[in-house]
A = this chain, B = another copy of it.
């Protein structure tokens, strides 16, 4: 029989311990910040009935990009490509019992069938943060403050990234009143604007002409796309209520020292369920051009599950784009192992070494005992390759005098210590 491949499934990742350490670090900062705002973690099955995506996630996603199959009982199911329909299903299931504002977060694994490319794999993990039951912009503002605190938690400066903000309500008004498009054209132009960055200016206008076929409308579209600030917008639009909302948000954010927000009338978001404010965050380094996180208000989604509407604002932040951002800005240094100490028994002292390990574990120190029986230098190499900082040598004479050599593999220093001194060393570290 031919050998099986050791590679993971195409477009998906194995996390060896050194990779998992990086992921755990990223998840740890995410968790710490969102929990500091009172968000509670939830989770749900990775398989959902396909119908929950059919309604609002957009046709392309459901028909071309999902892991969709029939289970052994004939049910049409999908491995979740995004978390929003799931969290909407859950909150709808407890629409009455839930205490609002409900602040929920999750870090689900999500799958999309796509050609794997830079910054975009078939699976990723995504921080999902949602606040339910708040209809004022306090909800959006809290989201953007969380984003800012997470970025600061990773050591990023505000110059390293930019928050783009727009409003779906404004987009609807622009499409109908300023561009005078019908519903079908409006939907197409929205989708086209959404992929503008990806396809480039030329393809954008050429596709736009196919949709509207009217040079005055194309000129108006050009005015929009080229608007850099509120002042560049055509008159009628400037008075729109949504513009005032966004301006109020910007004032509050500036008061809270958040200065990297930008109004972007071309920001659309690919998903169909957004109803008002939408936002995305971009790396300011053009080498990492994909949006890192995206979110907005989607007040209508729970209604699909037969309950009363509920105001909701949320965002999703993927681990692949985050890691690219952190590496690009040199914010990921080597992360030490969770293992504090690697004990190297010299001679037939395995049982005694395990006894020492037991004592140290009781003090909260994470200790691996090398039970490979290999040579000492190989055992030191093993500790090094696992990024464990300290090794402790245990031999017969050490046991006799009850003092042991503790070697710091990072600083390359060594000291002879008693067990209580070893415990004190790690407790103070």
Binding site for B on A (CB under 8 A): 1, 3-10, 12-17, 19-21, 23-24, 35-49, 51-52, 55, 64, 67, 69-73, 75, 77, 79, 89-90, 92-94, 97, 99-101, 103-104, 109, 111, 113, 123, 133-134, 136, 138-139, 142, 149, 304-307, 337-339, 342, 350, 357, 361, 364-374, 381-383, 385-386, 388
* Distance of A279 Cα from B214 Cα, bound (Å): 75
Among residues of B, the one whose C-beta sits closest to the C-beta of A360 is B36
CB distance B14 to A90 under 8 Å? yes
CB distance B3 to A45 under 8 Å? no
Each complex incorporates copies of this chain amounting to 2
CB distance B93 to A14 under 8 Å? yes
CB distance A52 to B4 under 8 Å? yes
List B contacts of A382 (CB < 8 A).
99-101
List B contacts of A43 (CB < 8 A).
14-15, 20, 23
* Distance of A310 Cα from B16 Cα, bound (Å): 18
10 new A-B contacts at CB < 8 Å, known A12-B45, A17-B42: A5-B49, A13-B45, A17-B40, A20-B41, A20-B42, A24-B41, A38-B342, A46-B79, A99-B382, A101-B372
Closest Cβ–Cβ distance, residue A77 to chain B (whole Å): 6
CB distance B36 to A138 under 8 Å? no
Among residues of B, the one whose C-beta sits closest to the C-beta of A378 is B99
Contacting residue for A69 out of B51, B69, B136, CB 8 A: B69
Query: Given A14-B90, A43-B15, A94-B16, is A386 in contact with B4 using a C-beta cutoff of 8 Å?
Result: no
Query: Given A9-B48, A16-B94, A339-B40, is A368 in contact with B103 using a C-beta cutoff of 8 Å?
Result: yes
CB distance B90 to A16 under 8 Å? yes
CB distance A36 to B370 under 8 Å? no
CB distance B371 to A134 under 8 Å? yes
Closest Cβ–Cβ distance, residue A294 to chain B (whole Å): 22
List B contacts of A42 (CB < 8 A).
14-17, 19-20
Among residues of B, the one whose C-beta sits closest to the C-beta of A41 is B20
Interface centre among A38, A139, A371 (most CB of B within 10 A): A38
Closest Cβ–Cβ distance, residue A59 to chain B (whole Å): 15
List B contacts of A138 (CB < 8 A).
350, 371
Interface centre among A4, A94, A103 (most CB of B within 10 A): A4
List B contacts of A364 (CB < 8 A).
36
Closest 8 A/B residue pairs (Cβ): A38-B368, A3-B306, A6-B93, A12-B45, A99-B382, A69-B69, A17-B40, A15-B43
Closest Cβ–Cβ distance, residue A64 to chain B (whole Å): 8
Among residues of B, the one whose C-beta sits closest to the C-beta of A252 is B351
CB distance A9 to B305 under 8 Å? no
Interface centre among A16, A69, A350 (most CB of B within 10 A): A16
CB distance B4 to A305 under 8 Å? yes
CB distance B372 to A38 under 8 Å? no
Closest Cβ–Cβ distance, residue A341 to chain B (whole Å): 8
Closest Cβ–Cβ distance, residue A358 to chain B (whole Å): 8
Among residues of B, the one whose C-beta sits closest to the C-beta of A16 is B42
Contacting residue for A44 out of B8, B36, B37, CB 8 A: B8
* Distance of A20 Cα from B35 Cα, bound (Å): 14
